[in-house]
Amino acid sequence: MKYPVALTGLLIAGGAGTAQAGSLADCAALADDSRRLACYDALSGRSADSATPAAETADAESTGPALASATTAEAGNEEEEFVSQRLEEEEANANNRFVIIPHKRNYLLPLTFNSNINEEAWKEQHPGDGMDQAEAKFQISFKAIIWQDMFGMNMDLWGAYTQENWWQIYNTDVSSPFRETDYQPELILSVANDWHFMGVHNTRLDLSLTHQSNGTSEPQSRSWNRVIASALFEHRNFSLVTSAWYRIPESNKDDDNPDIDDYLGNGQLEGVWRWPDYTLGFTLRNNLSSDNKGAIQLDWTFPISQRFSGYVQYFNGYGESLIDYNESTNRIGIGVSLSDPF
């Protein structure tokens, strides 16, 4: 009887396993193919379970890259849909009375420093008293649904309120007063969108009727009314809101600040880069004229707890507050942030 030379090598390499399994002749005498193959495997010291059929190997090789690609694509989609996920959560909780939905960023800056203070407006209220360059600043902003899925369409009507405060907390000589409080109620028509172009996702379109005032009497009264159109775009970990507005005209006798457009312009850009633990944001305004009035704000958040983020804010330019709309401000502050800007 003839046997392949390779099997003779297997017999030699088998060692003690060969003695237990028998000889090549014993294996060859087996009529059942599977038992005969198992016998040869035993002689060679090879486990039947260790052998992977070629077909299975090929399947694994062909399936592995596909699964990896699918997983990568899924992770990429999750990264791109950060704001979309927030909007879905807002929709789901819109009618929950126990949930307060943030509108703009909610934050507290216990310490800010302004190197260019507006002492003229301060002296109108506090003649003879000095104004501190250090003060606290905070913002409260939330919204509530008024009409969800209007007319059966993918369109919602929201009411929103934002209040921003500048507090002379360290100025104990004048009982630490609130220097300025700006109030901003809004009525917002929001349309969910799903437009894609070159990797950019247009998530939402908003049209709002916005009133902003500081609630004081003359000569420090400041207010204006606007119609604001906004669009939200996303690309990977970057979100951008573009806004343009039209100021609703007022009569000359009722207009507290007729030149406010010269300083706050007719639109702004807000952008945020998001990483797992950090965000970096900016706000840009410009009146797009030769005198180049405008402003820039930079925002950085970093982790300090599960509920709060550390927050650093820098502002330079015009219109940080209504009382200072025509005065240049240069301020930096540090504190905590409770929510993202959008």
* Catalytic center residues: 211, 213
As beta bridge partners, residue 269 has: 242, 284
As a whole number of angstroms, the distance between CA 129 and CA 232 comes to 45
Contacts of 122 by beta carbon, 8 Å cutoff, 6+ apart: 129, 131, 179
DSSP structure class, residue 97: T
CA 47 to chain centre: 54
CA angle 241, 287, 106 (to 5 degrees): 40
Contact 173, 150 (CB under 8 A): no
DSSP strands (E only) in the chain: 101-102, 107-114, 134-147, 155-167, 178-197, 200-213, 223-235, 238-247, 267-274, 279-286, 294-303, 309-317, 329-337
Identify the CA nearest to 236 among candidates 74, 76, 73, 75: 76
Helix (H) or strand (E) holding 5: helix 5-14
As a whole number of angstroms, the distance between CA 92 and CA 89 comes to 5
Helix ranges (DSSP H) in 226-283: 260-264
Identify the CA nearest to 168 among candidates 129, 123, 137: 137
CA 217 to chain centre: 38
**What spatial distance separates the first Cα and last Cα of the chain, rounded to whole Å?**
83
Pull the structure tokens for residue 331: 């301020």
